[in-house]
Structure 1
Amino acid sequence: MSIFQKSRRAAAGVAAGTLFLTTLGTLGVTPAQATAEGRPSPVSVFLKWTMDESRFEEVLDLAPPGSAQARRLAAVEEKLAESPADYAARFAAADPKPIVQQPQLDVTVLELDRYGRLASSGTVLMSPDHPDGVIVPVDRNFRTTAVRWRQWDDAGWYANKGKGTVDIVPGRENAPIDFMSPYPASVLKLMVAFGVLRLVDKGTIALTDTYDYRPTETSALCETQNPTSKTVGTYLEAALTSSNNPSTCALVKLLHDKGAVNELNQTFQDLGLETLQFKNTNPATGGRWSNPVTMSSLDTAKLLALVNGVPGRAWTAPDGSAVTSGVLSASSRQVFKQHLADQGWNDMLSTVNRCGSAYPAPGIPHTVAQRWIGADGTVTVAGNKFGRDVRPCNDAAEVSFAHKTGWVNNSGADAGIVRSLPGKDGRHYIVVAFTNLGTQYTDANRPPAEPGILPVTATEKLARLGRAIDTFEAHRWANR
């Protein structure tokens, strides 16, 4: 019996991860061996084991196929997260049914050493074709050609049983793994921020410049009825810390105004981050974020490694040149990291905004930025109240988590840099998760929404996964 078969008898979540640590020691696989010999790394084996044990296939669908809820969501022209009030009303009116097939998940853990250098990685994909998960092989540059990446297709996920029809990266028709990549939702704002800061570094714009956002078409996503004039830095901060969509639209329109979108996409290709593609957005509004905007967890993790800072060569690009953190200046990287550290939406791989709640389960044990905490200790982000005193969790925090979340009805995503706090067990890694498990899906044990409190926006299985990964990484660091 394999360790994966045995895992079905183990406890879920953190308990599963803790139990697996003992089993992992018997594998005898070092990161160097895994890369050189094509063998799975310890973190990839752990990740597959834990994702399989998490039983994501047990979530409930609030808008099952054929329902009025599903028809309403399908009529939405532009991907946009519902307002908290609309979401709470939909949840209250729904008749949840079991999800019809194995969800799509794309998860990467990129382990870093104490200097920020890439040490090892694990990427696992789940889909109807791979219900137990499949480990993605990578080469010495932490790159893979083993996946035929396909664009997300909202209707096609049901109709084609998770198989996409539009290739993201050309020339992968014979790849052994065929995977439809979940829509990244607001994690796409990492690509926007990277593009804006590249323009800052070139001297094309400055963070102190005032940009007059004057859309020439309408967009609900961008709230185009409210044109704005703010500094580029103000737009950038709002886009990354409170995930403000109109501010992001302004930045996207700015990139179009400067003719920088095609260059941004080419830069990702030159860096060997082929799945990072910011396509089909509307130059008139900066909106129309849709399925041609693509990100894989592996390439997103590598982008965050550059933002975090890698001494010397990070990896070798497809043309043989060295990729370094010099793609952004030190000052731009610092701005980027600070905004991610100040991010307020801690409700995917982490749940500290709901500190002490019986539901959802605790995730990555990090601190909440002080800017969101009121005098009573509760968190409010963009007018949305979480209703729990987070000060006990801040006091007990073990790590910092500079991250960006995203969600719409069929997308739940989180991507960030984890580093231990002073005096706590060491770890330094990047974790990225893209799933189709957005606000449309919930858990059977989810309690009713509290009046005036933002409803839980994701299955708690993602938080349990985040906690298990963090426990594993702390153990890995202690035993290096």
Structure 2
Amino acid sequence: MYGSVGLLSAAALAGCGAQAGPVDTARVANQTNGKPSAVALQLQKTVNALRFQEVLDTAPPSSAQAKTLMNPVDKEARNGLEQRRSLLAAADDAKPISQQPQLDATVIELDKNGRPVSSGTVLMSPTYKKPVVVPVDKNMSTTAVRWRQWDDAGWYANKGQGTVDIVPGREGASLDFMSPYPASVLKLMVNFGVLQLVDQGKVKLDATYDYKPTETSSLCGGATSKTVSQYIDESLTWSSNAASCALVKMLHDNGAVDGLNKTFQSLGLQTLQLKNTNPANGGRWGNPVTMSSLDTAKLLTLVNGAPGTVWTGPDGKPVTSAVLSATARKFFQDKLRSQGWNDMLSTPNWCGKYPAPGIPHAVPSRWVGPDGTVTVNGSKFGRDVRPCNGKAEVSFAHKTGWVNNSAADAGIVKALPGKGGRSYIVVVFSNLGTQYVDADRPATPEGIYPFAFTEKFAKLGKIVDTYEKSRAARG
């Protein structure tokens, strides 16, 4: 049915005292004996050292351009090459960002069997200018955060404070955080739901699905007819919005959206909510669609697979990787490893001095031409990536996402044979989307796809990977 970035020295990285060897499941948390874990402290120090507040804003709040970019419904419809070029054309007049950026980052460290051994989550915002560590329990869950929906205009007007709660009953939480919109990382939730339908025998991967929207949408496009497998491939490997709309509509057609949201709740992934999408066309991706880095990292832990009870759900029942069959998990991972957009925590599509190198994985061969340059869905990157591919140390099964005020990357990192042995999950969500650039960003040649994130994300990915490599070496 299933077909070294220099900001933190090597000595500093090695001196953080990561936990070595296997850790009992009951002690898996980002706090041990009331103190933050080593990986949590390392992540906090790294985010703070990278000084994300030094980026430039190509559409500052006082500009007319900023108003045209705020679109709370079908947020990704404007997310294309022309929008990127328009923003970059304004880079010469870019201004310093008006306040501390929003960032939500998690690392879950895994043992050789895929079981979590430690985790760390940090939050940064105008309220928390120095990143704060989120306390979690033995199930890698937290009640210490009042999670709020993203509000495009409210990030400026309310100084990064949201007004709509994601998880009810958190009014007394010690931390209050407006979660960045997850952008195309929401496609992880969508494809997870579709693969559950496959496991249930309600959908077959090799069957043709006739996508017939009854309402038009600039996000989703018109009718199409493809196999379910092809829709999934296009959704995950080059982030097709049209294919993803088809999959969302497929979930609605099967009455599965409410069930999917209930599944996330039962798994203890309370911030994962695929809400308010349009059953007529699978579109209307807006701020009610929410994900936190911690819950997304936990979802990927299940997709990666681990034996036995991985954690305990809110109802006291064991949560296991059997939420997807082994065949479904392998299919999911294979598609994520085939990612074409490697442009946030990793940057091998550019393979050069700028953007800085991130997580050291190879660009999948399906995107690499005879001259070594990368082309993804018609977008040309223009650099020979073969030297970087030859130096790859890990695989990175991941999904990226971006709009003007959202940047997201979530994936599973595994060392290649003989390359250090690390295995971990990393997820970062931020409001520093394509609207924000580095002050020293070089010009992009005509006809080449522009890099329009800050390279600080790639530096973050590289530091995390170097730390995890050193942890594995000590393990």
**TM-score, scaled relative to structure 1:** 0.94
Shift in Å, 1:86: 3.3
Q: 2:81 corresponds to which letter in structure 1? A: P
Other-structure match for 1:150: 148
SS of the equivalent of 2:413 reads strand
Deviations 1:189-232 (A, max 9, x none): 00000000000000111111111111111111112xx3101111
1:444 to 439, 443, 456: 439
Other-structure match for 2:84: 87
Q: 1:191 corresponds to which letter in structure 2? A: M
Distance in 1 of aligned mates of 2:38 and 2:67: 43
Assess if the C-alpha contact under 8 Å between 1:18 and 1:468 holds in 2: no
Distance in 1 of aligned mates of 2:15 and 2:324: 41
Distance in 2 of aligned mates of 1:13 and 1:179: 29
Deviations 1:142-170 (A, max 9, x none): 11110000000000000000000000000
Deviations 1:317-375 (A, max 9, x none): 011101000000011101100000001000000000001x2211000000111000001
5 Å-filtered alignment, 1:38-437, equals 38-74=34-70, 77-80=73-76, 81-94=78-91, 95-223=93-221, 226-355=222-351, 357-437=352-432
Assess if the C-alpha contact under 8 Å between 1:112 and 1:119 holds in 2: yes
Assess if the C-alpha contact under 8 Å between 2:209 and 2:226 holds in 1: yes
Deviations 1:64-116 (A, max 9, x none): 01202102112574202532133213311342000000000000000000010
Identity %: 64
Q: 1:391 corresponds to which letter in structure 2? A: R
Q: 1:18 corresponds to which letter in structure 2? A: A
Name stretches of at least 5 consecutive residues in structure 1 with no aligned partner: 1-11
SS of the equivalent of 1:24 reads coil
Distance in 1 of aligned mates of 2:348 and 2:31: 35
Assess if the C-alpha contact under 8 Å between 1:213 and 1:228 holds in 2: yes
1:16 and 2:8 are equivalent in the alignment: yes
Shift in Å, 1:404: 0.2
Distance in 1 of aligned mates of 2:266 and 2:157: 35
Q: 1:137 corresponds to which letter in structure 2? A: P
Other-structure match for 1:9: none
Assess if the C-alpha contact under 8 Å between 2:404 and 2:433 holds in 1: yes
Assess if the C-alpha contact under 8 Å between 1:13 and 1:461 holds in 2: no
Distance in 2 of aligned mates of 1:172 and 1:195: 27
Q: Structure 1 residues 79, 109: closer, same or farther in 2, change over 3 A?
A: same
Shift in Å, 1:14: 4.4
Q: 1:205 corresponds to which letter in structure 2? A: V
Shift in Å, 1:45: 0.2
Distance in 2 of aligned mates of 1:313 and 1:28: 21
Other-structure match for 2:455: 460
Distance in 1 of aligned mates of 2:300 and 2:87: 35
Shift in Å, 1:26: 10
Shift in Å, 1:465: 0.2
Provide the alpha-carbon RMSD of the alignment: 1.7
Distance in 2 of aligned mates of 1:324 and 1:14: 39
Distance in 2 of aligned mates of 1:350 and 1:478: 22
Q: Size of the alignment, in residue pairs?
A: 466
Distance in 2 of aligned mates of 1:267 and 1:77: 25
Q: 1:373 corresponds to which letter in structure 2? A: V
Distance in 2 of aligned mates of 1:187 and 1:440: 18
Q: 2:445 corresponds to which letter in structure 1? A: E
Shift in Å, 1:34: 5.9
Deviations 1:305-325 (A, max 9, x none): 100001111000011101000
Distance in 2 of aligned mates of 1:36 and 1:50: 20
Distance in 2 of aligned mates of 1:454 and 1:252: 28
**TM-score, scaled relative to structure 2:** 0.95
